[in-house]
Amino acid sequence: MAGIHFEAYAPIPLAASGLAKTGPGVLGGILVGTSSSLTIKVWDALTATGTVIVETTAALTAGQFLRIPAGFGVGCFVTIGGTGTVTVFVG
């Protein structure tokens, strides 16, 4: 019988660009709360520099969930373009 696998991440709400986590970790995904031409860029960094993990080019909509199973080593910084709020799930 196969074992049960659980994933758990800390929810980090952001209303502006900011640091979701310092140090190594895992990005589970991003939930868009509100959106007005909202785009995001996620960096493996403590600021908006360094290695880009993911970048959206099309506007995201409220209620949209982006599953992003990616690791990071330095930190997880999220740049928010346009207007809106997101919840970043990190572990």
Which positions ≥6 away from 10 have C-beta within 8 Å? 21, 89, 90, 91
> What pLDDT score was predicted for residue 6?
78
pLDDT tens for 35-73 read 999 999 999 999 999 999 999 989 999 999 999 999 999
CATH architecture of the domain with range 10-90: Sandwich (2.60)
> What pLDDT score was predicted for residue 18?
97
C-beta neighbour count of 18 within 10 angstroms: 16
Residue-level length of the chain: 91
